[in-house]
Amino acid sequence: MTESPSRVEAFSDGVFAIAITLLILEIRIPHGEHGLWEELLALWPSYIAFLMSFVVILIMWVNHHELLRMAKGVNYPFLFANGFLLLTVTFVPFPTAVLAQNLATAEARTAVAFYCATFVANALCWNLLFATMVRGGLLHQDVTEEAVSKVRRAYYFGVLVYVAATALAFIRPVLGLLLNVSLWGVWITLGYRAEASASSSRS
Amino acid sequence: MTESPSRVEAFSDGVFAIAITLLILEIRIPHGEHGLWEELLALWPSYIAFLMSFVVILIMWVNHHELLRMAKGVNYPFLFANGFLLLTVTFVPFPTAVLAQNLATAEARTAVAFYCATFVANALCWNLLFATMVRGGLLHQDVTEEAVSKVRRAYYFGVLVYVAATALAFIRPVLGLLLNVSLWGVWITLGYRAEASASSSRS
Amino acid sequence: MTESPSRVEAFSDGVFAIAITLLILEIRIPHGEHGLWEELLALWPSYIAFLMSFVVILIMWVNHHELLRMAKGVNYPFLFANGFLLLTVTFVPFPTAVLAQNLATAEARTAVAFYCATFVANALCWNLLFATMVRGGLLHQDVTEEAVSKVRRAYYFGVLVYVAATALAFIRPVLGLLLNVSLWGVWITLGYRAEASASSSRS
Amino acid sequence: MTESPSRVEAFSDGVFAIAITLLILEIRIPHGEHGLWEELLALWPSYIAFLMSFVVILIMWVNHHELLRMAKGVNYPFLFANGFLLLTVTFVPFPTAVLAQNLATAEARTAVAFYCATFVANALCWNLLFATMVRGGLLHQDVTEEAVSKVRRAYYFGVLVYVAATALAFIRPVLGLLLNVSLWGVWITLGYRAEASASSSRS
């Protein structure tokens, strides 16, 4: 372990901030030829896709934040595991745009499945990153065994639910999306608990 | 309350900086087929839309700055309230482009109303963020009751004016835009006073 | 004067970094239908425009850096003067793209004049920013009268040269561009001297 | 030498983060007219180009990181040498998009050669940057002669291999790409050793 996580944190924050802001470029600008109001309403799949991806990247940023607070330092494998995680984050605008373009068409199944599959890859990267932290001895001494296994269970669980959402999307795309969204609650609670325990252990 | 606002500040600054810089992508590149000079002049709605959104995001950044100086720390609800505010900021390039494309057409009413409505949502998020700060006990001890109610009144007022601008846009789009712009003065004065009082309380 | 320039610096750095990186989006992707090699060569106006704008934004970033090192703090007018400067920086990708699209056509005059005129506005903003610093008493005590008038003269000079380049562009576009480029030397020397004097005064 | 490398580091990090995140804009959004699944599969050249450029920019960021840890400060020539390096980094999305659009066509030779040639320019900039550091006396005292010549040899080697990859691309594009990718291993090992020696010299 060689140094504090501050520069990795800054770089990761930059990537999260840019990816979340690029999402808006996915929405096509209507030109009002068929009535601007109707055209704006017809963009509802874009608004849903934008909103979903914005919230999920925001949650990921918060959790990345909490995860790095567990680390006393970073090593070389960590930089690359974190890089792969960021790869899946920068990829998000693409499946988001695919979802927006195809949610209201006969191809909704494929679009939703592709969207959910992106988060399977993302969830695997969170597992990889955490494993790198545990194996490399990068965790603070005050992180308990119990906290480690709680994070690990939540991350395994995330992979399973995203796989289920991907499979469900082929049958009922709307249910696949809803299952995907339902994970927000899990991540928010996880982060909330991590933060509460960090606060209490410090006070 | 768990930590200093510095990392939230850095992330928010990144989002503000990116959103403000992406605005330029909204202006279409003329190719000179009908005379480059004429084509550049014909882009006046794009210049107006770019200028308006640039100034408003700049003012928001300054005010976000002043608001966070009132905070001694952040908590979990704050991260999400701030996230929703940033959502409305990253959304701005879209109504800006809609305004640019439709301001000189018969659809100007809808375009201006949509633009103003975005700032209704944005103004509501400022209220939510401030309420989160007050309820969560995140304000510095030296922030007086009077300062709190002054900010709160200004934020309520902002919602009302943006609602009025949205309504006015349906009748006279130009007046709706002017009412929207007139708020700049209010925000700048608000920030200026906040800064002046912060300076005097420190010196 | 209320605070150290660090957060303004970070925000400005973000805007400079994003504007300089967005320049690449101006180059259109060739599809190889008429021979990829020929298409890549035919993009020479895009490469020139990209290179010119990249170098000029890089120089501006370095000089902004040096300018802020003269400041002991920032005030409210400074935030807005700096904001207007950033407005002209974020605008640069647009005239760059106009130049790239029209440099090899009969509209080169207009494109180069428009490009140079952008830097007239930019040079005026540098003058405004520096005037705000001087009037607001934001300069460090160790900044001499001589140093102030040297910067001021260079900034006045910049406006004049960019005006001349704009005028020249209408007669001979290539000469207008060359005059524009010749200013690089002035800015680099100015920054270099500022840095050398800052170093010597500290050692 | 005038100051610590922290602001250059922050600016460079911003440019790396933005360039790596803009890569995703290169992938065109399929609309499902010919079957969304088939269209997503047909984008394989885009995925390869995205992945290759993402990994290479990530490695460059890590190595830039390690390189700046060798520096005790920066000077004026360093700022410009670093700027030229960043120019080649911000350029990467363009050859990436050219590669994505042409890898599956008869123009693959040209596309791969152009892609590899970009990294020849990039590798030359790394040499220039390091030479600026050595000549300007910017290295920490604890950086040994041996470490310097090790970095220098690796950077020379990089230029040669990228030149070879460019030449090879004209004969067998796939081999050119593979040679390009094989350099990842070299850069990762180089960074790893630099980090290991930095860690051991500090502990």
pLDDT tens sequence for chain C (203 residues): 456 777 788 889 999 999 999 999 989 999 888 899 999 999 999 999 999 999 999 999 988 988 988 898 888 889 889 999 999 999 999 999 999 999 999 999 999 999 999 999 999 999 999 999 999 999 998 888 998 998 899 899 989 999 999 999 999 999 999 998 888 877 777 666 666 665 555 44
Looking at the complex, does the CB of residue A198 fall below 8 Å from at least one CB of chain B?
yes
pLDDT in tens, A97-152: 999 999 999 999 999 999 999 999 999 999 999 999 999 999 998 888 988 998 89
The kind and range of the H/E element at D91 are helix D76-91
* Binding-face residues of D in 9-28 toward A, CB within 8 A: 9-10, 13-14, 16-18, 20-25, 27
Q: Among partner residues A7, A22, A106, which is closest to D21 by beta-carbon distance?
A: A22
CA-based nearest residue to A22, from D28, D95, D25: D25
Helices (H) and strands (E) in chain A, counts: 8, 0
Q: Among partner residues D18, D86, D87, which is closest to C18 by beta-carbon distance?
A: D18
Q: Among partner residues B29, B62, B191, which is closest to C101 by beta-carbon distance?
A: B29
C-alpha C102/C-alpha C107 separation (Å) is 6
Q: How far is D125 from chain A (nearest CA, A)?
A: 22
C-alpha B122/C-alpha B89 separation (Å) is 7
Q: What is the ipTM of this complex?
A: 0.89
Report the chain C residue with the minimal C-alpha distance to residue B191: C76
Q: How far is A92 from chain D (nearest CA, A)?
A: 9
Nearest 10 degrees: CA dihedral of A137, A139, A144, A149? Answer: -80
B87 vs A contacts (CB less than 8 Å): 51, 54, 58
Contact state of C32 with D106 under an 8 Å Cβ cutoff:
yes
**Segments in chain B below pLDDT 50:** 1, 202-203
C-alpha B159/C-alpha B155 separation (Å) is 7
Report the chain C residue with the minimal C-alpha distance to residue D15: C17
Looking at the complex, does the CB of residue B91 fall below 8 Å from at least one CB of chain A?
yes
Looking at the complex, does the CB of residue A203 fall below 8 Å from at least one CB of chain B?
no
C23 vs D contacts (CB less than 8 Å): 90
Contact state of D16 with A19 under an 8 Å Cβ cutoff:
no
Contact state of C32 with D79 under an 8 Å Cβ cutoff:
no
C-alpha D93/C-alpha D56 separation (Å) is 12
Task: Work out how many CB contacts closer than 8 A connect A with B.
Answer: 86
DSSP string, A117-135: HHHHHHHHHHHHHHHHHHH
Hey, what amino acid is at C136?
G
Q: Does residue D11 contact residue C12 with C-beta atoms inside 8 Å?
A: no
pLDDT beyond 90 at A183: no
Helices (H) and strands (E) in chain D, counts: 8, 0
Report the chain B residue with the minimal C-alpha distance to residue A196: B2
Give the pLDDT confidence score for residue D191 in this predicted structure.
66
pLDDT beyond 50 at A203: no
Contact state of D199 with A2 under an 8 Å Cβ cutoff:
yes
Report the neighbours of B using a cutoff of 3 or more CB pairs below 8 angstroms: A, C
C-alpha D195/C-alpha D197 separation (Å) is 5
B199 vs C contacts (CB less than 8 Å): 1-2
Mean pLDDT in order along chain D per 10 residues (203 residues)? 73 93 92 90 95 94 88 88 95 96 93 96 96 93 89 90 94 92 79 63 48
Contact state of A29 with B94 under an 8 Å Cβ cutoff:
yes
The domain ranges of chain A are 6-202
Contact state of B93 with A58 under an 8 Å Cβ cutoff:
no
Q: Among partner residues C79, C94, C110, which is closest to B27 by beta-carbon distance?
A: C94
Report the chain B residue with the minimal C-alpha distance to residue A65: B7
